[in-house]
Amino acid sequence: MKRGLLAALSIARKDLKTELRTKESLNASASFALVILVLFSFAFDLDRESIYAISGGLLWLVYSFAGALIVNRSFARELPNDCLDVLIASPTPAWSLFLGKAIAAFFLLLIVEAISLPVFGLFYNISWTGVFWPLLLTISLATWGITVVGAAFSAVTVNVRLRELMLPVLLYPVLIPLLIGGMGMTTQLLSGNMAAADRNQYLRQLIAFDAIYTALAVYLIEFVLVV
Amino acid sequence: MLAVAVDRVWKYFGDYPALRGASLSVEPGACLALLGRNGAGKTTLLRILAGLSKPGQGEALILGAPSRDEGVRKRIGYLGHGIGVYDDLSAVENLRLFGRLMEMENPARAADSALERVGLANVKDGLAREFSRGMRQRLAIARAFLHDPDVLFLDEPFTSLDDRAIAVLQRILSEAQARGATIVMSTHQIREAMELASQVALLERGRIVHAGERTAEMLADPTWLYRTFGEAQ
What's residue B161's pLDDT?
Answer: 81
Q: Is the Cβ–Cβ distance between B217 and B211 less than 8 Å?
A: no
B82/A18 CB distance under 8 A:
no
d(CA A80, CA B73): 22
Contacts of A81 in chain B (CB under 8 A): 82-87
Determine the pLDDT at residue A168. 93
Sequence-separated (6 or more) residues with CB below 8 Å from residue A122: none
Q: What is the pLDDT of residue B232?
A: 55
Angle value at C-alpha B70, between B64 and B75, nearest 5 degrees: 65
Number of Cβ atoms within 10 Å of the Cβ of A50: 11
Domain ranges of chain B: 27-54+69-229
Number of domains in chain A: 1
Cα–Cα distances (Å) from B196 to A227, B5, B34, B39, B186, in that order, read 32, 21, 12, 23, 12
pTM of the model: 0.91
| Torsion sign (Cα): B89, B90, B91, B93 | negative
- Of B144, B152, B172, the closest CA to residue B31 belongs to B152
Residues 6+ apart with CB under 8 A from A142: A60, A63, A178, A179, A181, A182, A206
Beta bridge pairs of residue B154: B79, B185
- Separation CA B115–CA B82 (nearest Å): 19
To test the contact with chain B by mutation, choose from A85, A99, A158 the residue with the greatest count of B C-beta atoms within 10 A, namely A85
For B94, nearest residue in chain A (alpha carbons) = A14
For chain B, list residues whose CB is within 8 angstroms of any CB belonging to chain A. 47, 50-54, 68, 70-71, 73-74, 76, 78, 80-89, 93, 97-98, 100-103, 143
Q: Which of A6, A21, A81 sits opposite B85 (nearest CB)?
A: A81
Chain B residues touching residue A98 (CB < 8 angstroms):
none
Coil vs helix vs strand at B110:
helix
Nearest to A214 by CA among A106, A128, A109: A106
Which of B54, B37, B65 lies closest to B151, judged by CA? B65
Please tell me which of the candidates B68, B73, B97 has its beta carbon nearest to residue A10.
B97
User: What is the rounded distance in angstroms from the CA atom of residue B104 to the CA atom of residue A200?
Assistant: 46
Domain range holding A206?
2-225
Nearest-CA distance A93 → chain B (Å)? 7
HEC profile of chain A: CHHHHHHHHHHHHHHHHHHHHHCHHHHHHHHHHHHHHHHHHHHCCCCHHHHHHHHHHHHHHHHHHHHHHHHHHHHHCCCHHHHHHHHHHCCCCHHHHHHHHHHHHHHHHHHHHHHHHHHHHHHHCCCCHHHHHHHHHHHHHHHHHHHHHHHHHHHHCCCCCCHHHHHHHHHHHHHHHHHHHHHHHHHHHHHCCCCHHHHHHHHHHHHHHHHHHHHHHHHHHHHHHCC
Query: Which pLDDT belongs to residue B233?
Result: 46
Give the one of A22, A82, A92 whose C-beta lies nearest to B88's C-beta.
A22
Say if residues B62 and B3 touch (Cβ distance below 8 Å).
yes
Of B73, B82, B86, the CB nearest to A85: B82
Choose among B44, B56, B67, B61: nearest CA to B9: B56
Name the residue in chain B with its Cα closest to that of A97. Answer: B101
- Could you give the CA distance from residue A87 to residue A109 in angstroms, rounded to a whole number? 24
Q: CA B50, CA B28: separation in Å to the nearest integer? A: 16
Residue type, A104: A
CA of A55, closest CA in chain B: separation in Å? 38
Instruction: Give the chain A residue whose CA is nearest to the CA of B69.
Output: A91
Taking an 8 Å cut-off on Cβ atoms, the answer to whether A14 and B76 are in contact is no
State whether residue B2 is helix, strand or coil: coil
Cross-chain CB nearest to B70 (options A10, A85, A91): A91
Interface predicted TM-score (ipTM) of this complex, two decimals: 0.90
Show the beta-strand stretches assigned E in B111-206. 151-155, 182-186, 199-204
Average pLDDT value over all residues in chain B: 91
**What's residue B90's pLDDT?**
97
Q: Is B214 helix (H, G, I), strand (E, B) or coil?
A: coil
3-class SS of residue B155: strand
pLDDT in tens, chain A (227 residues): 888 999 999 999 999 999 999 998 999 999 999 999 999 988 888 888 888 899 999 999 999 999 999 999 999 999 999 999 999 999 999 999 999 999 999 999 999 999 999 999 999 999 899 899 999 999 999 999 999 999 999 999 998 888 888 999 999 999 999 999 999 999 999 988 777 778 889 999 999 999 999 999 999 999 999 98
- In CATH terms, the fold of domain B27-54+69-229 is Rossmann fold (3.40.50)
CA distance A204 to A193: 19
* pLDDT value, residue B193: 81
Q: How many contacts does A have with B, using Cβ atoms within 8 A?
A: 79
Q: Which residues of chain B have pLDDT under 50?
A: 233
